[in-house]
Amino acid sequence: MSDRKIAIIGASRGLGLGLAKEFASRGWKVLATERSAGEDLHKLADEHDAIEVATVDVTDPSTFGNVCGQLADGSLEAVIVNAGITGAKHQSSVEATPDEVAHVMMTNAYGPIHLGKKLLPKVRDGGTIAFMSSLMGSIADSSGGYELYRTSKAAQNMLAKGVAEQDAGPRDIEVLSLHPGWVQTDMGGPNAKLTVEESVTGMADVVEAAGHGGYRFVDYSGKELPF
């Protein structure tokens, strides 16, 4: 087994669960987190000795120690922060309440970046930290609509770029904003073009090839996306 270790935040289902399975199958040790107990993740951990499970909520910093406390400084090759929600069903900036805005921004932007910064000391020099983003967070590409979700992902991209410039750069840790593609998950729906397996295989390839410092906004194939 490889001595490479990755933390995958938000691995109880969908893309996070798929990523945990993919990296374990490639010989990585995986610390996979869930917000609440998920049967599928624990079943996967039972099948793979390489997978450990911890409980963390990106919107609750009091839980961060459950993952950070298990890791020695420099012990991780990579981190993927996958937590995220669509937000209020109406997705309208006109209808949005303060609580709805706060919830989607904390879950999709500020919470993931906060935990990412806490995990940075655990990543080795020249490692990688990836934040699960979306092409819908691209300002250049935007066609409007899904205003709460788009804004939260654009904010996450901005914060991730700041992590690269201020926190990760001095240690040559590469920061990725990673678009998984349109995937057949609960969020993506059944009509999406990609299976979970296709998306996570591509994203794992991107993460394995990263670790050269700097910041990139890329999709599951490694294609650069407009900021």
Per-residue pLDDT tens over the stretch 175-218? 999 999 989 887 777 888 899 999 999 999 999 999 989 999 99
Of 124, 172, 178, the closest CA to residue 3 belongs to: 124
pLDDT of residue 185: 84
Nearest partner of 26 among 206, 199, 208, 153, judged by Cα: 208
Measure the CA–CA gap between 181 and 183, rounded to whole angstroms.
Answer: 6
3-class DSSP state of 122: helix
Give the tens place of pLDDT for each residue, 31-53: 999 999 889 999 999 999 999 99
pLDDT at 187: 76
Q: What is the DSSP string of 151-182?
A: HHHHHHHHHHHHHIIIIIGGGT-EEEEEE--S
Fold exhibited by the domain 5-219: Rossmann fold (3.40.50)
Q: Pick the residue with more confidence: 182 or 152?
A: 152
Measured distance between the N- and C-terminal CA atoms of the chain, rounded to whole angstroms: 37
Sign of CA dihedral 111, 23, 174, 64: positive
User: What is the reported pTM?
Assistant: 0.96
Residue 191: predicted pLDDT? 82
Distance CA(190)–CA(182), nearest Å, equals: 10
For the chain, the domains span 5-219
pLDDT band at 225 (very low <50, low <70, confident <90, very high): very high
